């Protein structure tokens, strides 16, 4: 599948009920050759309006963390497990995630990142292990088929509980260190 095909499929998609409440399909943003893919849960109100992921308050917090740790825009691509906004920002259902995951897998195949950072429980369960809770597994590296995975808190959780900020910073710092070390060994 090419990027064009993927984007067309997403824009026309009605695989799940989220299609009927959306303003825009939120596919992703960032470098399509990035070594790091950052995966969130789903679009919020601002993301739905603008058609871009992580552009609201949670996105600003994420951008601030990435910038302060020295990530450049070529280092990452950001996408969500579901591409359409769940009403009132509710958590997407397992069925909605399952229906939408082929698009995220296609993005992964096109980008071939070395590292996937999962923000929050929905992304962590979808990408690493269904039994995982982000509060228990955050900051730990997992390796699957040559790709490294790390879970950390979703920035929206940091807006509700400031004490989690330091943990997300610590986790993203580990990702930056790994990125700077390279992947040849
Ligand atoms: S959330 Fe995903 S599966 Fe559901 S309609 Fe949107 S693009 Fe399709």
CATH number for the domain that contains residue 173: 3.40.470.10
Report whether residue 82 contacts ligand 1, using a CB cutoff of 6 Å.
yes
Ligand 1 mutation pick, 8, 13, 20, 79, max ligand atoms within 8 A of CB: 13
Report whether residue 13 contacts ligand 1, using a CB cutoff of 6 Å.
yes
Q: Quote the number of domains for the chain.
A: 1
Q: For ligand 1, what atom is nearest to the CA of residue 82?
A: 1
pTM of the full structure: 0.96
What residues make up the domain containing 53? 3-181
Report whether residue 126 contacts ligand 1, using a CB cutoff of 6 Å.
no
Q: Which residue has the tokens 């789903």?
A: 42
36, two tokens:
């790091």
Percent helix, percent strand, percent coil in the chain, to nearest 5: 50, 15, 35
The 10s digit of each residue's pLDDT in 136-175 is 999 999 999 999 999 999 999 999 999 999 999 999 999 9
The 10s digit of each residue's pLDDT in 50-77 is 999 999 999 999 999 999 999 999 999 9
**Cα 98–Cα 104–Cα 109 angle in degrees, nearest 5:** 130
């Amino acid at each position: 599948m090419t990027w064009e095909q993927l984007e067309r499929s997403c824009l026309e998609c009605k695989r799940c009920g989220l299609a009927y409440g959306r303003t825009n399909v939120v596919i992703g943003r960032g470098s399509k050759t990035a070594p790091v893919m950052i995966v969130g849960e789903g679009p919020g109100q601002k993301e739905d309006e603008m058609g871009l992921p992580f552009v609201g308050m949670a996105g600003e917090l994420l951008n601030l963390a990435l910038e302060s740790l020295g990530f450049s825009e070529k280092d990452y691509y950001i996408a969500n497990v579901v591409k359409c906004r769940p009403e009132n920002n509710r958590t997407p259902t397992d069925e909605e995630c399952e229906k939408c995951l082929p698009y995220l897998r296609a993005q992964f195949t096109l980008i071939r990142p070395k590292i996937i950072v999962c923000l929050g429980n929905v992304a962590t369960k979808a990408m690493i292990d269904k039994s995982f809770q982000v509060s228990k597994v955050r900051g730990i590296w997992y390796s699957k088929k040559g790709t490294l995975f790390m879970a950390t808190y979703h920035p929206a959780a940091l807006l509700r509980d400031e004490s989690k900020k330091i943990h997300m910073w610590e986790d993203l710092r580990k990702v930056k260190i790994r990125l700077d070390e390279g992947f040849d060994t």
